[in-house]
Structure 1
Amino acid sequence: MYDYALRQDIIHEVHSRPFQNLPAPMVMEHITVLYDGKDAHDAERQILQLIRYLGFECPETHKGFLFIQNAELSIRYEPHNEFYTLTLYKSENTRSALQLPQYRQQLPGAFLAGAEILFRKDQSNLFTRHFSKNFSEWGQDCFHSGQFVASEVMAGSARMATTFKPLPDTGFTLVIVEDIHLMPAQAGRLLQRICEIETYRHMALMGLPSARTLMPKLTLLDQELASVSQRSPDQDSSHTLMAMMELSGQVEALSASTANRFFASEAYFALTEKRVQELRENKLKGKQMTTEFMERHLEPARRTCRSASQRIELLSKRIARATELLQFQVNLTIENQNKELLQAMNKRARRQLNLQSKLESLSVLVVVYYLYDLTGMALRNVLPQGELLDTSLKALTLSLPVLTIITFWIVRHLMKGIKEQ
């Protein structure tokens, strides 16, 4: 027995991307960057160079997930199939800009989303009625408005609030989190889930522009299919079949160009929903929860992407069904043409047999004539001149009716077998 070739990769994948212990207070910056056609290995090499430039000691041979820290900062790097994420952690109680926006121009790829997370200890007093008030005041100060999403999370162990709107100066979404009685490991899981929600909801929405662009095209193709399907039965089926094949090619091209994006979006929608559920929210009075916000703002986009994908599949099935019916009609037309051709051939064969029947009498006379002539010549050559020859020729002449009847019976018997066939 020997080890499976990919066993170590499987083990590494199961244990990759662990949660960190993150005690409050802390400031975090999380960024999501698309590869956007760039080679993932080249992008990783540039990222690791930037991490070393920021003062982190990273091995030259390192590959894949990375969490490393120095005296002031910690950084987390996660590569994925379509994107990578960078997260900076700094243990402090006051909001201060970290270095990701500053070095964003040096990162490879296309910026998609970012989150700035302020994590602090509970600042309320001992009276329960003041818990939400203090947290609400902090939210109003951070968001400069009373309109924000807020809830208790982790079964009441923390509170979080955000507007899910990017800040005008950095393009990052601000999220505030207050630790009521979280363990460091719980805090690490909570903050990582918040980062993943921000990443996955943006990745999920990447399919929405394609869905919106696709809808008018699908409507036109649908109308064209209806127009082609309603053709007159007297029209040439070959032209209709060619039109169906052209429609099928267009739909398959649309499916090939959008199927991967829609499937990926559906997976990211499911991940976003899962991460929101893992927050284990409890409602704060007068505030909308993250779950409610996602259902109201993200679910319509999900349904739009799903509808576009289903419309492509349905249109493809309708074209296949219409083409199958048209092909059946073409085959039926060909069968009718073959039937008419066979009937014409049968009529021609009957006419030939009738003509042969009419010529039976003539053929009998011809055969009798040749038999009589050949027999007479044979008698003249065999018998000498005299009374015996004359008697034989008279007997041959008198036997003509019998010879004619026998010849007619033979010819009629042969023709009867041909007619039966």
Structure 2
Amino acid sequence: MTEFPRHPEHAFVVGEIHSRPLPEFDSSRVVLHFAFMSEGGKSVASAVFAQLCRMRGETVPAAEMRYHSIPWGRGRLRWESHSEFTTFTFDAPAPRSFLGDLHDHPFAAGFMPPGSLISATRIEIRANTPANRKLLDKFDPESLAVNRLSDGKSLLATDFRQDPNGMTVFLLLESELGPAQIGAYAKMAIELETYRTLAMLGLPLARSLSQKLSNMEVDLSRLTAETKDASADESAELLAKINAMAAELESDAAASLFRFGASRAYGGIVQDRIKALGNDALAGNVTLGGYINRSLPPALRTCASVEDRQANLSRKLARVANLLRAKVDIEIESQNRNLLSSMNRRTQLQLRLQQTVEGLSVAAVSYYVVGLFYYLAQAFEKFLPAPLTPKMLAGLFVPVAILCIWLVVRRIRNHHSESAG
């Protein structure tokens, strides 16, 4: 067959479906699952798992791998790397007693967590027998949630409370389920608890931002009222305050963008797992999905509400800022017009003064030139034909002198005007 050119990501997208194989568990098994936030980066979590591999003499996974598992005693340790958290899952034979201690597991005193713990889950897998069904009595009856699985012969139960070790305990009572089915239901329970807690991370942030938004909305209402009668200087000051509020709002929105988006995504995964588990409840009990949906959807709606308020407040701030900016611009234009009008009046006054000075200058220079001409005529008086006298020549020279000097001054003024233009 012809070899076709491959997309650069072809190998990744084809192999991704196999990147996290579904675990298979037998009956009478216990599963411990821990999810840690990756505050230190993925390299820290990889280093922790690599150290565990070396401790057991196992091969360290390649740096680009996001899933790996190694045998650990009578069980198996699985490591998974996600976008913002890392998980460690360990399964082993269940102890004789419910919630009994495990003596050989990876999470002993020497275990170094790669980040802060966000979710810890313990799943006890046992046969659905009358004796084991009595284990349901060990859960808090006020928050006990039970799902019937498969054909109704298997049960998945939890009260979403933590045991003395801080782990949320699930009890999977299986009947005629194969290892793959048990593994699938155990994985659903793990993901339900892990993604439920991750989705709820947006709620504390939403609550803190909600109070801040309320304060900003009150401030905006007050500042908007002040814009009605504000002067130009006051409008500029109000505009500066509005811009500062807008900058703070955008900073908060940018900081919460990832958290709220992640909460929505995690919430969607939780709803998918709830749907997969079904809605078949044990008589007298609520399903896991029914119990989770008492708190998770309202929390996600709170996050969405804060996002909507941020967007709405941003639009309001932009509108008020535009109004103030227009008002300030109009005031500045009015001031500029007044300034230009004042400058025009001063220019006209200066022009008239200049013309007056030029007229006086022409008269003064003409008087001086005529005087010089009179002295010159007196010096050559004996050469003058009768009846001309020096005074008569000076009188005749006056209009000539004035015209010549005026022409010279006019030429100089025109030359300066052309140079300035």
- State the TM bucket, normalised to the shorter chain: 0.7 to 0.9
Q: Deviations over 1:303-350 (max 9, x none)?
A: 223333444444445444444443333333322222111111111122
Offset of 1:3 from its aligned partner? Answer: 8.8
Q: Deviations over 1:201-245 (max 9, x none)?
A: 111222322222333233333333444444351354454344345
Q: In the alignment, is the contact (CA less than 8 A) between 1:140 and 1:146 conserved in 2? A: no
Give the Cα separation in 2 of the matches to 1:358 and 1:52.
Answer: 103
Give the Cα separation in 2 of the matches to 1:362 and 1:71.
Answer: 117
Q: Is 1:80–2:82 an aligned residue pair?
A: yes
Q: Deviations over 1:131-158 (max 9, x none)?
A: xxx7995564342637522233468685
Give the Cα separation in 2 of the matches to 1:145 and 1:237.
Answer: 62
Residues 213 and 106 (structure 1 numbering): CA distance in 2 closer, same or farther, change over 3 Å? Answer: farther
Residues 153 and 343 (structure 1 numbering): CA distance in 2 closer, same or farther, change over 3 Å? Answer: farther
How many residues were matched structurally?
Answer: 404
Structure 2 residue corresponding to 1:173, chosen from 139, 158, 168: 168
Structure 1 residue corresponding to 2:120, chosen from 111, 114, 118: 114
Aligned to 1:103: 107
Residues 365 and 147 (structure 1 numbering): CA distance in 2 closer, same or farther, change over 3 Å? Answer: closer
Aligned to 1:262: 260
Q: Percent identity?
A: 27
Give the Cα separation in 1 of the matches to 2:294 and 2:230.
Answer: 49
SS of corresponding position for 2:293: helix
Q: Is 1:19–2:22 an aligned residue pair?
A: yes
> What letter corresponds to residue 288 of structure 2 in structure 1?
T
Give the Cα separation in 1 of the matches to 2:35 and 2:42.
Answer: 14
Aligned to 2:230: 233
Residues 334 and 154 (structure 1 numbering): CA distance in 2 closer, same or farther, change over 3 Å? Answer: farther
Q: Deviations over 1:37-77 (max 9, x none)?
A: 44644444444545676xx6622456642233467323322
Give the Cα separation in 2 of the matches to 1:347 and 1:204.
Answer: 71
SS of corresponding position for 1:103: coil
Q: Is 1:148–2:152 an aligned residue pair?
A: no
Aligned to 2:324: 326
Q: In the alignment, is the contact (CA less than 8 A) between 2:53 and 2:59 conserved in 1? A: no
Aligned to 1:219: 214
Q: In the alignment, is the contact (CA less than 8 A) between 1:283 and 1:289 conserved in 2? A: yes
Deviates more, 1:311-320 or 1:268-277: 311-320
Structure 1 residue corresponding to 2:92, chosen from 90, 93, 96: 90
SS of corresponding position for 2:383: coil
Structure 2 residue corresponding to 1:292, chosen from 281, 290, 293: 290
> What runs of 5+ residues in structure 2 fail to find an aligned partner?
none
> What letter corresponds to residue 103 of structure 1 in structure 2?
F
Q: Deviations over 1:173-217 (max 9, x none)?
A: 222334456443333222212101111111122232222233323
Q: In the alignment, is the contact (CA less than 8 A) between 2:362 and 2:406 conserved in 1? A: no
Give the Cα separation in 2 of the matches to 1:155 and 1:290.
Answer: 17
> What runs of 5+ residues in structure 1 fail to find an aligned partner?
124-133
TM-score (norm 1): 0.74
Structure 1 residue corresponding to 2:304, chosen from 303, 306, 309: 306
Give the Cα separation in 1 of the matches to 2:50 and 2:362.
Answer: 109
Q: Is 1:184–2:179 an aligned residue pair?
A: yes
Q: In the alignment, is the contact (CA less than 8 A) between 1:379 and 1:389 conserved in 2? A: no
1:398-409 equivalence runs, <5 A: none
Q: Deviations over 1:259-303 (max 9, x none)?
A: 443333333222222322333434555432333323221112112
Q: Deviations over 1:60-111 (max 9, x none)?
A: 4566422334673233222334332222223559635353899354431433
SS of corresponding position for 2:147: strand
Q: In the alignment, is the contact (CA less than 8 A) between 1:88 and 1:98 conserved in 2? A: no
Root-mean-square deviation over aligned CA pairs: 4.5
Q: In the alignment, is the contact (CA less than 8 A) between 2:381 and 2:389 conserved in 1? A: no
Give the Cα separation in 2 of the matches to 1:106 and 1:325.
Answer: 63
Offset of 1:28 from its aligned partner? Answer: 2.2
Residues 360 and 153 (structure 1 numbering): CA distance in 2 closer, same or farther, change over 3 Å? Answer: same
SS of corresponding position for 1:296: coil
